[in-house]
Structure 1
Amino acid sequence: MDLLVRSLPEPLQRFDTYIDFIGQWKAEIIYEVIITASAIFGFCRGYLAQQVSVAVNSVLVGFLIASVIVIPPWPFFRRNPIEGSIQTLLVSAFK
């Protein structure tokens, strides 16, 4: 990821690109809720309209909404900074 960030133009390199562990957990929950809700909504809507395309389109819209919310490293996913280095975390995890 660092190689990719270094290849970007200078103004874009200033943005933080990490998400902390709690932010990853929140992102996963948000993604799952949005996808599940859009699938249930799409199934009901598609059943009432008797068209599979309506259900598929609802799920795709849910996927796009979830992607816009979850993929960028928004500041609310970085509220709990990672303390120490990765080596320190790995050593403490295997003790």
Structure 2
Amino acid sequence: MDSLQSLILDGFIDFEGQKLADFLTTVLLIVFGAIAWIVGFLRQDLMYTVYIGLGGTALTFLAVVPPWPFYNKNPQRWLAAGEGDRKLQ
């Protein structure tokens, strides 16, 4: 339980992970939206469109929102506090 809590609460993603999450969000929502529209059109039923669209949105949410470890493959190394001030003098 502690590892799950640390993953959810203490999870970080880097800048490359943010770019990947943005790309995945766009692609997944477009793909699920197109599939939902096609199935709804072929079946002539709006409920198929709504359910597939909502399911795709939920799957996209699960793929993008948690800080999965593959979103933190390129972490930034930050300077220690006050370390940058000494170099300016």
TM-score range, shorter chain: 0.7 to 0.9
Deviation at 1:14, TM superposition (A): 3.5
Deviation at 1:21, TM superposition (A): 0.8
Deviation string 1:52-91 (CA, Å, 9 cap, x unpaired) is 1111111111111111111111110000102215x9xxxx
Match of 1:37 among 8, 18, 31: 31
Q: Percent of aligned positions with the same letter in both sequences?
A: 31
The higher relative CO (CA closer than 8 Å, separation ≥ 6) is in 2
TM superposition score normalised by structure 2: 0.76
TM superposition score normalised by structure 1: 0.72
Match of 1:49 among 43, 50, 53: 43
The equivalent of 1:63 in structure 2 is 57
Deviation string 1:12-65 (CA, Å, 9 cap, x unpaired) is 554342111110110111111111001001101000111111111111111111
Displaced runs of 4 or more, over 2 A: 11-16
Gaps of 5+ in 2: 82-89
Aligned residues: 77
The equivalent of 1:6 in structure 2 is none
Gaps of 5+ in 1: 1-8, 88-95
Alpha-carbon RMSD across the aligned residues, in angstroms, is 1.9
